Amino acid sequence: MSSSKRSQWNNNIVFIMAMISSAVGLGNIWRFPNVLYSNGGGSFMIPYIVSLFLLGISFVLVEYAVGYKFKTSLSRIVYSINSKLEPVAWFILLVVFLITTYYVCVVGWDLIYLVLSFTKAWGANPDLYFANHVLHANDSFAGLATIVPNVLVSIFVIWIVIWLIVKRDLNDGIGKVCRILLPILCAIVVIIVAFSLMLPGASIGYAQIFTPDWSALTNPNVWLAAFGQIVFSLSLGMAIALTYASYLPDGAKLVDNALVVAFSNSGFEVFNSIGIFSILGFMTFTSGIPFDELVTEGTGLAFVVFPQVFNIMGNWAYLIGPLFFLCILFAGITSAIALLEGVAYSLSEKFDASREKAVTIACIAGFLISSIFATSAGSMILGIFDSFLNNFALLLGVLLECIIFGWIYKFDELIATLNQYSTVKVGKLWKIVIKYILPVCIFFLWMQGVYSTLTSGDVNSLIVRIILCIVLIIVPVILSVLPSKSNS
């Protein structure tokens, strides 16, 4: 990983599989169905597809071109464009790292549910079980003093798994794991969707996807929601595409690759949501609970609504339940390793450390921070981390990347890099999107995030946000001023 012995993908297929695995994550499984439902159902596909083409793929192309051209880590690329901007790169990487720390915790919760699902151990009231038995939730900072052992152990296990994968050689570690897990993940989703379509009441659910509300299209928030989903789902601005593209051997068809990855990721989430909606339709049909009360997102959907569904599914739940949680586990692990890789790569390049050393340090630090979420106050703090980092910090990172690569760097060189071997070419339109349209859209999305961050939350949120702001300013500056062997 350090500059002297750069890693390289064995072939283009491994790269594509690693990219798809990194993009397909929790966001595809539990975020997309809710976003789709709350923003016009079937008609949402129009802003979604427009955002995918115009903005999502365009930005992935920036990261591909930059990573492929410079063949190094984000921090070194930004440093070489303008050394004064190095803290911006570390800011982005720190945001990614902090996201990884709570992402791992959610994957850890999923691991617990995977075990519980074999016996439906959550009992008749999954809501209370999740809050009281799994999280031991206490919404005050006093909860920091109480460790929740089962969550701590599962977080530890997930960090060990990540460490074991990422510390290995690129192809033997990340490459191999993605090659194995991605097909299994797809097979599980096909089984779940096929099964869900046969459930009584399934049509109540999937009809929602095919019932458009055209009036939603005139609502700018629906367009912002579509764009926000693309940012989240394609993991834009997280330096993943940039890092993975920097490992590509010469002759890569960058634009073609970006199209394959983006279509696969979106195809996955649309297909998967047919299953999720059908299962929720079954729940409405069987229990009479209105459909809109069931379509929640995030942990509420996976760890409360789905266990409720499994409770009324009979014996099939002993098969579909574990498969569902296994699906989230695989999708989560392959995204988490990608999040960590970019951070570890930048650390290894900056300090000229080996892959193993950089990954080990990042994993130890990550586990220590994740431990905060293994306390009774953990779920409260996790919620604050999630909304602050996603709505505010991550979007700011995407905006900064647009400015650095679109305006400060000699942008036209990226067009040549992308077109060199690709069958599909980019041109003026792409330049206009990256320089003008994308920053404006991100800016509006960001303002929306800033507004919701400022107008929501209690004193606890305020305290955590202030701490995060201080950390996000100080740590990048420290990392930038620390002497680097490889930048010199």
Contacting residues toward ligand PHE, per CB under 6 A: 23, 25-28, 99, 103, 232-233, 235, 335
CB of 234 to ligand PHE, least distance (A): 7
**Given the complex with ligand PHE, which of 90 and 103 has the nearer CB atom?**
103
Q: SS3 string of 276-326?
A: HHHHHHHHHHHHCCCHHHHCCCCHHHHHHHHHHHHHCCHHHHHHHHHHHHH
Q: How far apart are CA 488 and CA 486, in angstroms?
A: 5
CB of 481 to ligand PHE, least distance (A): 28
**Given the complex with ligand PHE, which of 105 and 254 has the nearer CB atom?**
105
**Given the complex with ligand PHE, which of 22 and 480 has the nearer CB atom?**
22
CB of 27 to ligand PHE, least distance (A): 2
* CA-to-CA dists, residue 70 to 12, 154, 359, angstroms: 18, 38, 22
Backbone angles phi, psi at 212, to 5 degrees: -80, 145
β-partners of residue 41 are 212
CB 166: neighbour CB atoms within 10 A?
28
**Given the complex with ligand PHE, which of 305 and 336 has the nearer CB atom?**
336
Q: How far apart are CA 140 and CA 132, in angstroms?
A: 15
280 Cβ contact list (under 8 Å, min separation 6): 205, 291, 294, 295, 305, 309
**Given the complex with ligand PHE, which of 126 and 342 has the nearer CB atom?**
342
Q: How far apart are CA 363 and CA 351, in angstroms?
A: 16
CB of 241 to ligand PHE, least distance (A): 11
114 Cβ contact list (under 8 Å, min separation 6): 322, 325, 326, 329
CB of 387 to ligand PHE, least distance (A): 12
**Given the complex with ligand PHE, which of 28 and 43 has the nearer CB atom?**
28
Angular region, 288: left φ>0, alpha ψ -120 to 50, beta rest: left
CB of 175 to ligand PHE, least distance (A): 18
CB of 204 to ligand PHE, least distance (A): 27
CB of 375 to ligand PHE, least distance (A): 22
**Given the complex with ligand PHE, which of 100 and 422 has the nearer CB atom?**
100
**Given the complex with ligand PHE, which of 23 and 134 has the nearer CB atom?**
23
Cα-trace Rg, the chain:
22
**Given the complex with ligand PHE, which of 135 and 328 has the nearer CB atom?**
328
Residues 171, 101, 270: CA angle, nearest 5 degrees: 70
Q: Please report, as a single letter, which amino acid is at residue 50.
A: V
β-partners of residue 147 are 375
CB of 335 to ligand PHE, least distance (A): 4
In b/e form, how buried is each residue of 221-244, taking b as 16+ CB within 10 angstroms? ebbbbbbbbbbbbbbbbbbbbbbb
Helix (H, G, I), strand (E, B) or coil at 398: helix
In b/e form, how buried is each residue of 24-53, taking b as 16+ CB within 10 angstroms? bbbbbbbbbbbbbbbbbbbbbbbbbeebbe
End-to-end CA distance of the chain: 18
CB of 29 to ligand PHE, least distance (A): 8
Q: How far apart are CA 425 and CA 415, in angstroms?
A: 9
**Given the complex with ligand PHE, which of 105 and 222 has the nearer CB atom?**
105
CB of 290 to ligand PHE, least distance (A): 27
**Given the complex with ligand PHE, which of 72 and 335 has the nearer CB atom?**
335
Q: Please report, as a single letter, which amino acid is at residue 276.
A: I
CB of 338 to ligand PHE, least distance (A): 7
**Given the complex with ligand PHE, which of 22 and 138 has the nearer CB atom?**
22
**Given the complex with ligand PHE, which of 85 and 111 has the nearer CB atom?**
111
Backbone angles phi, psi at 41, to 5 degrees: 60, -130
| Residue 401 burial (C-beta neighbours within 10 Å; 0-12, 13-18, 19+) | buried
CB of 62 to ligand PHE, least distance (A): 17
Using CB positions, name the residue nearest to ligand PHE. Answer: 25
